Amino acid sequence: MLEILYQDDGLVAIHKPSGLLVHRSALDAHEERFAVQLLRDQLGRRVHPVHRLDKGTSGVLLFALDKDSARALSRCFEFGEVEKRYTAIVRGHPAEQGRIDHALSRRHDPAERLPAGASDAPQQAVTHYRRLATAELPYRVDRYPSSRYALLELAPLTGRRHQIRRHLKHIAHPIIGDSTFGKGQHNRLFQQLFGSQRLLLACFSMAFTHPHTGVRVSIQAAPAADFTSVAHALGWDKAVASLSAGPDS
């Protein structure tokens, strides 16, 4: 049963667990469970995904319940009218706060239908972040005798595919558990120490103006237990609790 965070006549938001695909993808052809299918069966009606979270990312996932709402919400995402906030556990100690302004080339799902003339030229991509907590573990992973990690809050201003993951790799602070853009040695350390098998990235807040009522909607989802257990082991309980304070950008 999926956890429903918000629902009205046109919209529904769930807390997507890590490891669940939003919909069928050629990249995971063997998968048989999808958020779209599970929510459709749970509600007994058709649902329309209006954005995506990567398979490994947990947190707020929004659907429309009819085609008109789907079109309206898709425009909100397209024009950057949806405020999204994420948290991640990363390698190293980034600056206390920063802005990553780094264009990203388009990445496509093999099954995605692209409009005629679509360009693969890099697109503007901006992410704000602030550092919430740091830790240093007495384990040699790279060339240093100990390894540093940090908890970040992130606010992407654009919505490029894998934007946060690629931006954090770009500044040399990849997310722990990221098998594509991260560092395998650090991922394995977290598996061994904390039993963490997931990408340590979660969308914990989403806010937007309702396309039909004009009312401001704010949806919150505390990071899932498999995320907070790692944060707890690193002594970051207070930092995780502070996520509701908002980004300093």
Tokens 């704010």 sit on residue = 218
User: Pick the residue with more confidence: 246 or 220?
Assistant: 220
37 contacts: CB under 8 Å, gap ≥ 6? none
The pLDDT tens digits for 226-244 are 999 999 999 999 999 988 6
The pLDDT value recorded for residue 33 is: 86
- Angle CA(107)–CA(127)–CA(91) in degrees, nearest 5? 85
Quick check: 157 pLDDT over 80? yes
User: Pick the residue with more confidence: 243 or 128?
Assistant: 128
The pLDDT tens digits for 200-220 are 999 999 999 999 999 999 999
Amino acid making up residue 19: G
Rounded Cα gap, residues 127 and 129, in angstroms: 7
**Could you tell me which residues are beta bridge partners of residue 205?**
85, 220
Q: Is 54 among the catalytic positions?
A: yes
Average pLDDT on 145-164 reads: 96
Quick check: 154 pLDDT over 60? yes
Average pLDDT on 73-99 reads: 97
Residue tagged active-site, from 54, 101, 226, 248: 54
Name the average pLDDT for the chain. 92
